[in-house]
Amino acid sequence: MKNRIVLITGSTSGIGEGCARKFASQGSDLILNGRNEAKLNELKHELEAKYGIEVLLLIFDIRDREAAVEALASLKGKWQNIDVLINNAGLVYGVDKEYQGNLDEWDIMIDTNIRALLSMTRLVTPGMVERSKGHIINIGSIAGDAAYPGGSVYCATKAAVKALSDGLRIDLVDTPLRVTNIKPGMVETNFSVVRFRGDKQKANDFYKGIQPLTGADIAETVYYAASAPAHIQIAEVLIMPTNQATGTISYKKAEV
Ligand code: NDP
Ligand code: 8X3
């Protein structure tokens, strides 16, 4: 996908960073969003030097709607012609029961995983419709297919991502635009560290005995969907480790 412009939210880690690396390696120019300015600058310089592409940084908290509006309005020239929007930024906090969880943490999950994704879609899609060209790729989750213990609110946000992806696909059916919902299972990123509120040991233990997916694995799937011929719309992809069967059933070898 040479000379395409790909905007990735939450590109400082995990799946977002994996997508940045994959699309850059295939010649796409990138608009990278994130909050960690130092990490974004490092990634920009590395990818530009390695692949001869251009990277533009949009440093803002994706939940800040005004900042999002300003950031998109600041785009000049070719950067206005976004070909692919990857709505990736997202997070989970805790494994609390729905009647015991922290309301502030719920707000952060809902604001990031649903509201911010929707704002970005609302800001970027009209230009794509005008140009009759574009692809919105949402990073949903297996968690959106069925609730699991301790995942109630996070699962609800990812069920919302499925509904928003399906709804957008319906609304764009008379256009050449495509909408894809990628639904990963277990991917070893910083995700579980955030889930366990910084407890790296707990996060590591979660993946013991199973080979989880990586951010790079998911990036391959995202790239596959984005680079499919124009008449093919990969609507949804559910992708898990081989030893995972559902959101709650996986096989983990006992440590010896
Ligand atoms: P990571 O924690 O590694 O990456 C999450 C990224 O989102 C980080 O770059 C993070 O930046 C960014 N982000 C979070 N909140 C904001 C915000 N308010 N503004 C801007 N950026 C933000 O996790 P993953 O890569 O695994 O997660 C990416 C997506 O994949 C999420 O939507 C997640 O729900 C989804 N997913 C993950 C799975 C997994 O098992 N890992 C499985 C299924 C789906 P910062 O460091 O600044 O917080
Ligand atoms: C993350 C997948 O099931 O580990 O979206 O919460 S799960």
In the annotation, is 224 catalytic?
Answer: no
> Which residues, given as ranges, of the chain have pLDDT below 70?
256
The position carrying tokens 């919105």 is: 136
Pairing of strands 5-8, 236-239: unpaired
pLDDT in tens, 6-65: 999 999 999 999 999 999 999 999 999 999 999 999 999 999 999 999 999 999 999 999
The position carrying tokens 């990490």 is: 39
Whether 252 is in a domain gets the answer no
Query: How many domains are contained in the chain?
Result: 1
Whether 82 is in a domain gets the answer yes
With the most atoms of ligand 2 within 8 angstroms of its CB, the residue from 191, 213, 238, 250 to mutate is 191
Q: Tell me if 186 CB under 6 Å of ligand 2.
A: yes
The position carrying tokens 């277990």 is: 186
Whether 256 is in a domain gets the answer no
144: domain CATH number?
A: 3.40.50.720
Whether 245 is in a domain gets the answer no
- Residue 256: the pLDDT is 59
C-beta of residue 157 within 8 angstroms of C-beta of residue 113: yes
Query: Residue 167 belongs to what domain range?
Result: 5-239
Whether 249 is in a domain gets the answer no
- Residue 46: the pLDDT is 98
- Residue 82: the pLDDT is 98
Whether 67 is in a domain gets the answer yes
Q: How many residues are there in the chain?
A: 256
Ligand 2: which residue has its CA nearest to atom 6? 143
Whether 146 is in a domain gets the answer yes
C-beta of residue 189 within 8 angstroms of C-beta of residue 215: yes
b (16+ CB within 10 A) / e for 202-233: ebeebeeebebbebebbbebbbebbeeeeeeb
Whether 233 is in a domain gets the answer yes
According to DSSP, residue 9 is labeled S
- Residue 244: the pLDDT is 98
